[in-house]
Amino acid sequence: MIKKRSGRKQCSLPLPVPLVAVVLLICATYKYILPLKVEMVGWPAQLLPLALNESNRVVIQDFFKPYDPAYPTSLPTKNYYRKINLRPLAPYRTSGANFSAWLEEQTSTSFEKLLANIGDSSYNSLREQGVAEGAVIASPSKEKPDYFYQWPRDAAITVNTVVSNLVGSDKAVNLTLAGTIVKYLNNSAVLQRVPNPSGQGVGGSDPQLKGLGEPKFEVDSSAFTGNWGRPQNDGAPLRLIATFHFLQRLCDAKVDLKQLIAELQGQGQGQELRLSFHDEESLFETLIRYDLEFVTQNWKVDSFDLWEEVKGHHFFTSLVQLAATKQGLHYMKTHGRENDPLAQKLQQAANKLNDFLTLEGGFLNPNKNYIVETPSNLNSRSGLDVAVLIASLLTHAEDEGEGSSPHTNLPFGVNDSGILNTLHSLVSTMAIIYPVNHQRHSPRMGVALGRYPEDVYDGIGTSEGNPWFLATSHAAQLLYQLIHKMYADQADLEIPVNTWESKFWTSIFEGFEEYPSGGVLAGGGDYRLIIPYKSPAFHQTMVSLLNYGDSFLDKLREHVGEDGSMSEQFNKYTGIMQGARELTWSHGAFWSSSHVREQVLPLISSPN
């Protein structure tokens, strides 16, 4: 029996003719037009976006498997539609075997040349040139240009690289390298206490410790008193990152710092040194505490950028400061120091720095899909800078595969769309402005990168900027760390299918431009490419990223010296090296890139 609906009368009035036409048009649209549009972009029937609750996901299980109705998440391949596919990549301009052999040899050479630039009587004679034990020289070059100094920033980045090589495959700590790191930490404590043009430092009357923002010291660890871009407030946080990395690696290897120092002294290392610390507790009070105090009190202060050219607030400086505060807070909480007043300062600074980076600082510009390094300089520059990539790499070391860095929930990891789009924009721009790249001007191959497009520093003076070894190496490292993060996350790869937010991915995939962005789906929004974790397509994508990373290193292969030497730059016309010879950072960046690559190769070769 059919019941009449209570409280409502049956309407018997006919619909107006125009309204009937509208209803018929809507019905026709659903029946004929929408299925046609969906078919044209190759949607599997199970994923048709015909209702608000339907998915807008394009799921691909295998890029190379033909369409099979029994395999519904493969997109069909018909002449009249264009599906998303992997771009073919040509990573090497030599054979793969030749590249691998060169990479292995260059990696070893670069690490040797890096160690040759650290004052350590255990394996070099820099002491005869007046270099203090534990001091890291930027380059042995003493004229045109004179880089025979120590920069706290470069030193910390270099020692952080040494820490990455501290524990071997046998899980044993390399005592020689450990001695180098201990000497560096001891020299750092000395530098903290040297009065300099930036301030008095530790032991002086300045509670803000301004002297810890001094950018440059003589090789004997005395003050450099010449004119320079002061302050540079990234040195202390980078030193903290390297120090916490070292302590964590010792912890992972179950080695106590006090025991390590005793062993080093027993072997004769450091006998002539008067160490200012003897265990982890005294290291914290002698060195770490002051660097943490400096960051909490000076992060808001304008400073010069890592290229020592522009004063203001910089993405690189702010991100390494945030990483240092969060790592410091993590350390204090896990070492019974949570009630120390410094811990509260760190928490407050971390909160404010996070807001500054993500909201207030201007690094995220709605008119740009990449991250702006120095927002105050946008009136004269594009904001593009390889410093953005380096900041992400240095602050997300857990993506290297070491498992030795605390996960502190930092923003701007290597998978962040702004970070990846910065790489894409640098490649697109520098493929054009550096003639040495013109033979490689293709979305299928990496190119030589410089610092930023508007650069005019040529390694000695100002004329035209050039590609830098370290910039190109760090581009490769970013891609390798991205691969490691993808495997470590054990999650599907999900990418918005639009050419604004996901511009980087257009270097890896083709077909994004065939998918309209926003509003065309029921409820609005973009299509989303889903590549299921552990699927053949996931593995194929990781191989493509590896090849892309290799293409950057292969470009460097064309410009390094026959003996494995690397200067600061190579000429953008001729490709010949110029600027400071054997730049420590050049070798460190190359080694770091190769090191991360070595971590991801087993993941790719054994995807399941």
Examine residue 93 and state whether it is found in any structural domain, yes or no: yes
Distance CA 470, CA 583 (A): 9
Note whether 565 and 423 are same-domain residues: yes
Residue 135 has pLDDT above 90, yes or no: yes
CATH of the domain at 337: 1.50.10.10
Say what the pLDDT of residue 271 is: 59
pLDDT digits (tens, 9 = 90+) for 282-321: 999 999 999 999 999 999 999 999 999 999 999 999 999 9
Coil, helix or strand at residue 509: strand
Note whether 548 and 578 are same-domain residues: yes
Distance CA 550, CA 564 (A): 18
361, 380, 401 - which closes a domain:
361
Note whether 516 and 597 are same-domain residues: yes
Examine residue 34 and state whether it is found in any structural domain, yes or no: no
Say what the pLDDT of residue 498 is: 86
Range of the structural domain that residue 492 is part of: 54-115+414-608
Q: What tokens appear for 234 in the block?
A: 């990234």
Which is higher by pLDDT, 442 or 449? 449
pLDDT digits (tens, 9 = 90+) for 67-123: 666 655 544 444 323 578 999 887 887 887 899 999 999 999 999 999 999 999 888
- Provide the terminal-to-terminal Cα distance of the chain, rounded to the nearest Å: 60
Note whether 553 and 429 are same-domain residues: yes
Which single residue is written with the structure tokens 């450990």?
A: 178
Say what the pLDDT of residue 605 is: 86
- Confirm if 486 and 480 have CB atoms less than 8 A apart: no
Say what the pLDDT of residue 44 is: 36
Examine residue 174 and state whether it is found in any structural domain, yes or no: yes
Phi, psi of 498 (to 5 degrees): -145, 155
- Confirm if 595 and 580 have CB atoms less than 8 A apart: no
Note whether 281 and 424 are same-domain residues: no
- 10: pLDDT confidence band, cut at 50, 70 and 90? very low
Examine residue 65 and state whether it is found in any structural domain, yes or no: yes
Q: Average pLDDT in the 551-563 region?
A: 97
- Identified catalytic residue from 280, 305, 455, 458: 305
The residues pairing with 311 across neighbouring beta strands, listed in sequence order, are 304
Say what the pLDDT of residue 442 is: 61
Task: Using a pLDDT cut of 70, give the percent of the chain over it.
Answer: 83
Distance CA 280, CA 113 (A): 30
252 is catalytic: no
361, 393, 428 - which closes a domain:
361
326, 361, 396 - which closes a domain:
361
Distance CA 479, CA 427 (A): 13
Q: Average pLDDT in the 232-238 region?
A: 99
Examine residue 18 and state whether it is found in any structural domain, yes or no: no
Say what the pLDDT of residue 502 is: 94
Q: What tokens appear for 595 in the block?
A: 């090191």
Distance CA 80, CA 118 (A): 62
Examine residue 12 and state whether it is found in any structural domain, yes or no: no
Note whether 189 and 293 are same-domain residues: yes
Note whether 440 and 544 are same-domain residues: yes
Total structural domains in the chain? Answer: 2
- Number of residues that make up the chain: 608
Task: Using a pLDDT cut of 90, give the percent of the chain over it.
Answer: 73
- Confirm if 62 and 75 have CB atoms less than 8 A apart: no
Note whether 444 and 345 are same-domain residues: no
Q: Report the interhelical angle of 584-605 vs 469-489 (nearest 10°).
A: 30
- What does 26-75 look like in DSSP terms, one character per residue? HHHIIIIIHHHHHHHTT--GGG---STTS--EEE-S-TTSPP-TTSTTSP
Say what the pLDDT of residue 269 is: 67
pTM, two decimals, is 0.89
Say what the pLDDT of residue 14 is: 45
Note whether 131 and 201 are same-domain residues: yes
Note whether 153 and 108 are same-domain residues: no
Which single residue is written with the structure tokens 């590896």?
A: 546
Note whether 88 and 141 are same-domain residues: no
Distance CA 101, CA 518 (A): 47
Say what the pLDDT of residue 578 is: 98
- Confirm if 576 and 570 have CB atoms less than 8 A apart: yes
Examine residue 26 and state whether it is found in any structural domain, yes or no: no
340 is catalytic: no
Note whether 132 and 259 are same-domain residues: yes
Say what the pLDDT of residue 69 is: 63
- What does 178-223 look like in DSSP terms, one character per residue? HHHHHHHHHHHHHHHTS-BTTB--TTSS-TT-GGGG---B-TTSPB
Examine residue 1 and state whether it is found in any structural domain, yes or no: no
Say what the pLDDT of residue 27 is: 47
Output the CA torsion sign for 22, 27, 32, 34. Answer: positive
Say what the pLDDT of residue 81 is: 35
- Identified catalytic residue from 54, 252, 263, 308: 308
C-alpha distance from residue 593 to each of 323, 363, 469 (Å) = 21, 26, 12
Q: Report the interhelical angle of 235-252 vs 175-192 (nearest 10°).
A: 150
Q: What tokens appear for 55 in the block?
A: 């998915």
